[in-house]
Amino acid sequence: MSKDKPKGMIKDANKLQDATNNAAWSDWHWQFNNRLSGKNDLSARLGIGKKLAEEIKRVAEVFPMAITPYYFSLISKNDPQCPVRLQCVPNFAELNFSPADMEDPLNEDKYSPLPGLIHRYPDRVLLTVTLECASYCRHCSRKRKVGDQAIKITMDGICKGIEYIRDHPQIRDVLLSGGDPLVLGDEILDKIIGEIRAISHVEVIRIGTRVPVVMPQRITMSLVNVLKKYHPLWINTHFNHPVEFTPESEQALAKLADAGIPLGNQTVLLKAINDSVATMKKLLHLLVKNRVRPYYLYHCDYSRGVSHFRTSIREGLEIQQGLIGFTSGFALPLYVMDIPGGGGKVPLGPEYIKKYTDSEIVLRNFEGVDYIIKD
Ligand SMILES: *Cc1c(COP(=O)(O)O)cnc(C)c1O
Ligand code: SF4
């Protein structure tokens, strides 16, 4: 992997290029404020025709688009199938709704006792603290909500969520999600996490964030100093492809790990992006090299506008089978599906128990050899 400056720096975008030479590039506020959106003309920057650029704009009117200059700089301009491009640049296929698509596939609304709080599992809740993200992923399962200016998350709403947690002693694990919680400022995060940490029955606080991937500049020492006050605090990142590892993102992960924050990673299995054993293995190895434990490999869900990313479950199982036994056990994520209709997450396998009777069990190992064990 190249350790050079990010490739694909954009010729005509003088502003962006100049910024790489000064402090602005490493300032997350600059990254955030200079995001490319549906308003920008991407034709020259991506080396595409006007017609395609217009299509992008039309899609961005339906599902929001924002790309940090940093993440944009990882796009390889000459490759229409560039994995970074596919994840952040709108594609007309997003508007082809498939019959399997659902508005709210996880039935999150049903399990929301309050707006922004989802209580689906007995001992843990998900609290939405913002609907904004640093960059919007084209494969996002919360696509219908993220970036929606019409839905407002207020501090008052968040406080109501925290009160709910306080009133429910069975909640021992609180997952801050969004949107991306780390687009919030240090002070707000300090306040929110501080309030949750003050609840005696909350054992673990978790943050789900894609910031280390799309805006690693956000991981400042000042942020890390806020977070490490509230241990045990876990962070789950969202790396999907080996090219997302750069000196910047690796440094961000190192800062978090050095602060004693256990790091996990959730990957979405994405067609033409990471749906091969070779790519997935490279990704998993980069994660563990950076002290990030692969957590879940999600089967791409059934939200509207993401069906072009979905592989079959069989393909997912085959990839898992190509990994289990062939690399370190702690580099293996669990392949899961969030069952459409709100069933929750279930592991998908693959299956290594080939036969199970009252007297014996047949196990097939990673090399395909069967072993009979008397039970
Ligand atoms: C995924 C999820 C969680 C956390 O589940 P884990 O399997 O513990 O990581 C909690 N609440 C909701 C609504 C979720 O979707
Ligand atoms: S960062 Fe997370 S919530 Fe935001 S668009 Fe990407 S997947 Fe969705």
Residue 234 and residue 185 share a domain: yes
Query: Is there a contact between 314 and 322 (Cβ–Cβ < 8 Å)?
Result: no
- What pLDDT was estimated at residue 11? 43
Looking at per-residue pLDDT, the higher value among 241 and 109 belongs to: 241
Examine the pLDDT at 368 and tell me if it is beyond 60: yes
- What pLDDT was estimated at residue 341? 83
Mutate to test the pocket of ligand 1, among 110, 119, 121 (most ligand atoms within 8 A of CB): 121
Average pLDDT, the chain: 92
Residue 123 and residue 86 share a domain: no
Examine the pLDDT at 336 and tell me if it is beyond 80: yes
Query: Is there a contact between 317 and 331 (Cβ–Cβ < 8 Å)?
Result: no
Q: How confident is the model at residue 12 (pLDDT cuts 50, 70, 90)?
A: very low
Examine the pLDDT at 22 and tell me if it is beyond 90: no
Ligand 1 neighbours by CB, cut-off 6 Å: 118, 120-121, 124, 126, 175, 345
Question: Considering only 10-19, 112-121, 242-251, 366-375, which range has the smallest mean pLDDT?
Answer: 10-19
Judge whether 7 lies within some domain.
no
Residue 209 and residue 332 share a domain: yes
Ligand 2 mean position, distance from CA 234 (Å): 18
Residue 122 and residue 37 share a domain: no
Residue 68 and residue 153 share a domain: no
What are the pLDDT digits (tens) for 243-278? 999 999 999 999 999 999 999 999 999 999 999 999
Tell me the three-class secondary structure of the chain, residue by residue. Answer: CCCCCCCCCCCCCHHHHHHHCCHHHHCHHHHHHCCEECCCCCHHHHCCCHHHHHHHHHHHHHCCCEECHHHHHCCCCCCCCCHHHHHHCCCHHHHCCCCCCECCCCCCCCCCCECCEEEEECCEEEEECCCCCCCCCCCCCCCCCCCCCCCCCCHHHHHHHHHHHHHCCCCCEEEEECCCHHHCCHHHHHHHHHHHHCCCCCCEEEEECCHHHHCHHHCCHHHHHHHHHHCCEEEEECCCCHHHCCHHHHHHHHHHHHCCCCEEEEEEECCCCCCCHHHHHHHHHHHHHCCEEEEEEEECCCECCCHHHCCCHHHHHHHHHHHECCECHHHCCEEEEEECCCCEEEECCCCCEEEECCCEEEEECCCCCEEEEEC
Residue 162 and residue 73 share a domain: no
What are the pLDDT digits (tens) for 286-308? 999 999 999 999 999 888 899 99
User: Using CA atoms, how far apart are residues 86 and 308, in angstroms rounded to an integer?
Assistant: 11
Ligand 2 mean position, distance from CA 368 (Å): 38
Judge whether 372 lies within some domain.
no
Residue 156 and residue 35 share a domain: no
Residue 124 and residue 232 share a domain: yes
Closest ligand 1 atom to Cα of 173: 8
Looking at per-residue pLDDT, the higher value among 271 and 9 belongs to: 271
What is the rounded average pLDDT of the residues 85-90? 97
Examine the pLDDT at 179 and tell me if it is beyond 70: yes
Q: How confident is the model at residue 20 (pLDDT cuts 50, 70, 90)?
A: low
Direct distance between the N- and C-terminal alpha carbons of the chain, in angstroms, rounded to an integer: 48
Question: Considering only 92-96, 230-234, 286-290, which range has the smallest mean pLDDT?
Answer: 92-96
Does ligand 2 lie within 6 Å of residue 118's CB atom?
Answer: no
- What pLDDT was estimated at residue 148? 78
Judge whether 352 lies within some domain.
no
Judge whether 194 lies within some domain.
yes
Quick one: what percent of the chain has pLDDT higher than 70? 93
Looking at per-residue pLDDT, the higher value among 147 and 270 belongs to: 270
Examine the pLDDT at 2 and tell me if it is beyond 80: no
Whole domain around residue 210: which residue ranges? Answer: 117-347
Closest CA to 332 of 300, 371, 366: 366
What are the pLDDT digits (tens) for 303-332? 889 999 999 999 999 999 999 999 999 999
Number of domains within the chain: 2
CATH of the domain at 185: 3.20.20.70
Q: Report strand pairing: 334-339 vs 292-299.
A: parallel
Query: Is there a contact between 144 and 136 (Cβ–Cβ < 8 Å)?
Result: no
Closest ligand 1 atom to Cα of 296: 9
Residue 188 and residue 124 share a domain: yes
Residue 236 and residue 121 share a domain: yes
Residue 162 and residue 55 share a domain: no
Place of tokens 């479950």: 313
Q: How confident is the model at residue 1 (pLDDT cuts 50, 70, 90)?
A: very low
Examine the pLDDT at 239 and tell me if it is beyond 70: yes
Judge whether 369 lies within some domain.
no
Examine the pLDDT at 4 and tell me if it is beyond 60: no
Ligand 2 mean position, distance from CA 139 (Å): 8
Last residue of a domain, one of 33, 57, 91: 91
- What pLDDT was estimated at residue 98? 74
